Amino acid sequence: MTCLAWLKTLADTYDVHAKLAGVVKNDQAVLLPISHSTFNAQIEVIIDGNGNFIDSKKLEKGNDAVTIIPVTEDSAARGNGNFPHPLCDKLCYIAGDYTTYTGDNKESYYEAYMEQLRDWAESEYTHLAVQAIYKYLAKKSLIQDLLSGKTLELDDNGKLTDRTKLQGLGQTGAAVRFVVYGTDIPEVWKNQELYNRYGEYYQQREGGKKLCYVSGKTESCSDKHPSKIRNSGDKAKLISGNDESGFTYRGRFISKEQAVSVGYDTSQKAHNALRWLIQKQGYTRDDCAIVTWIVNRDVQVPDIMKDSINACCDIDDFDIWDSLDTSNINKSDTGKYFAEQFNNAVNGYAGKFREDDRAAVIALEAATTGRLSVVYYDEMGARQYMDAILNWQQHCKWRRTVNVGKAGEDKKRVTCECTPSPRDMALAAFGTQRSEWMEADSKLLRSTVKRLLPCITKKGIEIPEDIIRASVRRASMPLSMSDFVWHNDVLCVACAMIRYKYEMRGKAMDNFLNDNMDDRNVLFGRLLAVYDYMEQRAMFEYDENGKVKERRTTNAKRYWNAYSSRPAKTLKTIKQNLVPYEKKLSDYELKKFEEWTGEIMLHLAGEGYSNAALSEMYLPGYYLQMETMKQAFQKKEQ
């Protein structure tokens, strides 16, 4: 893929969904029209169609404050310059009495704003709301009206100061939006006709035309591209060429236009589509944003940044959640039933994709405060993509406990085989438990997740060895975290990655213990499980309700790290420490543990019984032997 392929793909995506531009539905993400952006408004001013003030109010911080506004190239990228927005803006631009009440001379700002607004209001693309706002603001009484309505406050000297805050910001920097009664849709930031009128008005401006490197057409190009990509407060840009002193492009090109030239329409479409996709279905965490989508039509795909069970939760027509019976959620067979039903549903959903459907994946990362970088991009057929996802979910899975449910709903805890999320894998490899959950450096998490993306989206690419090794080292230190976090978030996740490596090399995990009867790593892992579970059954005392009175760390867990490095030597120490506990076991329990130990030692005898460090294979050996023993005792007790 070329460096501009993602721009073309995003522009195509915008064209597919163009009818949704500017449509506001509840709290859903809004696809911005061309030549529009957003800001957080602190004040709402209500006027009538003749430009007469009616009322005003303060706005609370939240989604309702996010306002769609028309912008120019200069105003969308403005810093400290005098570049007013065409309609809604800050007080210093739109208030003719700003200087009177603040003492800060901003007359030139107001004049530039009014000149720009008048040109639109007097053009053939005008609108009743635009004319009403122009008439009202020409009276130069905005701050006076806001004071009379107690939306703003003066200090003891009769001046507007920043001591009084609106959404945590000073009054003088407040942003204002308008409601104009007498129009079909009074809220100007929700008025589709107003969007279209401004778009047509701004498109007819004169400008030099150049070759757009993305579309291949000669059109009006822009060197000022949108920000606010990951969220409404994001100032980082994907395309920027204003670093003339830092030699970003100089030395190779004479001007920034030679480095890249992107059409205004193309840039607007691509950036608006990317912003919308991230807000609607993207993963934003650890200063990165990752999103997957279907380019050529409106159909949802599983979220690769979630574990396999939750990956389809927010897909509208993925109806397994309505039909799945979770009333017996605590029964031992529920996890298996759930996984089977879920896999059937995912395979059925994958059949909805057509031959011509295209899937795209993009990952963004903050390079600097003002720069975003595309750290991963791939595009493929949707069926190819779903085949890779199904392959990943089928082979990189392990039994663990997850919270399942749609966003905004109460989630249920389910224990079943599922594929951990890329972030879970990064935490299992490099995380540390500091509170209730695993934590890690955000930069390290971003880097690890980025390296895992090709393993998910491209069938057959193995998980990097260093990530598996790091997770195995972390799993070999059970005393450094709580039992649940160690077992569920580290051991099970590490085993899932090991399984993917194992099965990608043509083997199957279904009969793992029998298939590896001569593998010393697996055998030592099984021995560790036998001695660990033996001590657990002998050590734990139960109350009259059948609950464990006290849990203490077993010798197997205490010596685990040393065991993984020097198994034969450490095994002797563990065995010696278990002698007192053997007396507490029943005859049946002692007999079963002796049978398992004898079977394992028979295969381990000889050169395999040595102090050579164990490979990652000992972890699934430990886990599966533990499950085998628990099932055997449960069957006996039942």
Q: What is the bridge-based pairing of β-strands 43-47 and 175-180?
A: parallel
> What is the Cα–Cα distance from 583 to 530, expressed in whole angstroms?
16
**Statement: residue 192 has pLDDT above 50:** yes
**Statement: residue 549 has pLDDT above 70:** no
Listed residue (157, 165, 110, 119) closest to 138, CA to CA: 110
pLDDT grade, residue 207 (50/70/90)? Answer: low
4 vs 615 pLDDT, higher one: 615
What's the sign of the alpha-carbon dihedral 204, 206, 212, 214?
Answer: negative
Q: Are residues 168 and 42 in the same domain?
A: yes
Q: How many helices (H) and strands (E) does the chain have?
A: 25, 19
289: which residues sit within 8 A by CB, 6+ positions away?
Answer: 229, 230, 278, 282, 283, 363, 364
Looking up tokens 């005392």 gives 541
Average pLDDT over residues 3-29: 88
Q: Are residues 274 and 383 in the same domain?
A: no
Residue 27 resides in a domain: no
Condensed to tens digits (0 to 9), the pLDDT of residues 30-83 reads 999 999 999 999 999 999 999 999 999 999 887 788 899 999 988 988 877 899
Condensed to tens digits (0 to 9), the pLDDT of residues 131-174 reads 999 999 999 999 999 999 899 999 888 899 888 899 889 999 99
Q: Are residues 473 and 581 in the same domain?
A: no
**Statement: residue 245 has pLDDT above 80:** no
> What is the Cα–Cα distance from 59 to 186, expressed in whole angstroms?
17
pLDDT at 178: 97
Lowest mean pLDDT among 2-11, 125-134, 238-247, 301-310: 238-247
Residue 179 resides in a domain: yes
Q: Are residues 78 and 106 in the same domain?
A: yes
Q: Are residues 317 and 458 in the same domain?
A: yes
Cβ neighbours, 10 Å, residue 467: 20
Q: Are residues 592 and 481 in the same domain?
A: no
Residue 26 resides in a domain: no
263: containing domain: 1-21+206-281
Q: Is 69 helix (H, G, I), strand (E, B) or coil?
A: strand
Condensed to tens digits (0 to 9), the pLDDT of residues 411-425 reads 788 888 899 999 999
Q: Are residues 252 and 328 in the same domain?
A: no
Condensed to tens digits (0 to 9), the pLDDT of residues 612-632 reads 999 999 999 999 999 999 999
Could you tell me if 596 and 500 are in contact, meaning their C-beta atoms sit under 8 angstroms apart? no
Average pLDDT over the chain, rounded to whole?
88
pLDDT at 324: 52
125: which residues sit within 8 A by CB, 6+ positions away?
Answer: 197, 198, 200, 201, 204
Q: What is the pTM of this model?
A: 0.86
The pair phi, psi for residue 19, each rounded to 5°, is -65, -15
pLDDT at 329: 43
Could you tell me if 477 and 561 are in contact, meaning their C-beta atoms sit under 8 angstroms apart? yes
Q: Are residues 402 and 316 in the same domain?
A: yes
pLDDT at 287: 85
Condensed to tens digits (0 to 9), the pLDDT of residues 552-585 reads 889 999 999 999 999 999 999 999 999 988 888 8
CA distances from 614 to 394, 522, 525, 564, 597 (A): 27, 9, 9, 5, 19
Split into its structural domains, the chain has a count of 4
Q: Are residues 127 and 218 in the same domain?
A: no
Q: Are residues 116 and 49 in the same domain?
A: yes
Looking up tokens 């390290």 gives 444
What's the sign of the alpha-carbon dihedral 533, 517, 337, 403?
Answer: positive
Could you tell me if 86 and 198 are in contact, meaning their C-beta atoms sit under 8 angstroms apart? yes
Residue 363 in tokens: 């990952």
Residue 380 resides in a domain: yes
**Statement: residue 256 has pLDDT above 80:** no
**Statement: residue 330 has pLDDT above 50:** no
